[in-house]
Amino acid sequence: MARGQDETCRAFHGGDAMNQEERARVFAALHRKGDPIVLYNIWDAGSARCVAEAGARALATGSWSVAAAHGFGDGQKIPLQLLVEIAREIVAATDLPLSVDFEGAYSEDPAQGAANVAQLIDAGAIGINFEDQVVGKGGVHPIGKQAARIRAIREMGERQSVPLFINARTDLFLQESDAARHPGLMHDAIARAKAYAEAGASGFFAPGLADAELIGKLCAQSALPVNVMMKPGAPDLATLAAAGVGRVSYGPFPYRAMTAWLKGEAEKVYGSAGT
């Protein structure tokens, strides 16, 4: 972690346990353009403790990882109540701020989505990823509709007196596997970043975007700190910081690496046993 981020944490809580509002404010303060918070995504209380002990200052789940670790596919297939309980267990396991990848909030209706997010706040979470893809159907929601959904979540958070960090995700780049077409998506992405900011978002997440020049352009045009997902072929942390990124996350890749290692070790055991 950068020195400035470490000082921010000490200034807020001086090593003492924080309440939920303090955790939310610390988490927001750790998002600095050019000095990104790094989130090595987790999936349960055990992985949360491992990452916390490694030196993390905040925690974030990945929806794919949480679902897979509990026997479900991605795309809101893990039951909402189970996801809320997992969040509650993670919050109880460490004193670090927790952001939950909440996909599409389990509803396309703004009011119902906000009510679902309220359950995560009740569990102790202080942030969410909230995506604009139409979950299970493909494509992305129109800008106006997604902005209305973000606005409802923000208003609910204010009623709960929790400065919820809404990391507004666009799936434009993730849904386009041909990186050569990503420059043509930038106008829409920048328009979404602006609209989501006006609706009350705290950050703008563009998974799938991996071109350093395009990332720099997005960071320059976005009033919100930009989140980039680290994946094979993505720029390194220093390059992302220089581009102005405010948050770097690892998505499903930590879980996939862990399960690949586990499978490999198990294969050694069963192979040596001749079974």
Contact at 8 Å (CB) between 79 and 114? no
Q: What is the DSSP letter of 236?
A: P
Q: Where are the alpha helices (DSSP H) in the chain?
A: 3-13, 20-29, 45-53, 63-69, 80-93, 110-123, 143-159, 186-199, 212-221, 237-243, 253-272
Distance CA 162, CA 268 (A): 49
Per the model's pLDDT, the better-predicted residue between 261 and 3 turns out to be 261
Q: How confident is the model at residue 274 (pLDDT cuts 50, 70, 90)?
A: low
CA nearest neighbour of 45 among 76, 96, 87, 103: 87
Question: Tell me: the pLDDT tens digits for 206-236?
Answer: 999 999 999 999 999 999 999 999 998 899 9
Q: What pLDDT sits at residue 272?
A: 75
- Give this prediction's pTM: 0.93
All residues at 6 or more sequence positions from 143 whose CB lies less than 8 Å from its CB, including other chains? 191, 192, 195
Q: How confident is the model at residue 11 (pLDDT cuts 50, 70, 90)?
A: very low
* Domains of the chain, CATH where assigned: 3-30+38-270 (3.20.20.60)
Question: Tell me: the pLDDT tens digits for 186-202?
Answer: 999 999 999 999 999 99
CA nearest neighbour of 214 among 200, 193, 197: 193
Question: Tell me: the pLDDT tens digits for 79-107?
Answer: 999 999 999 999 999 999 999 999 999 99
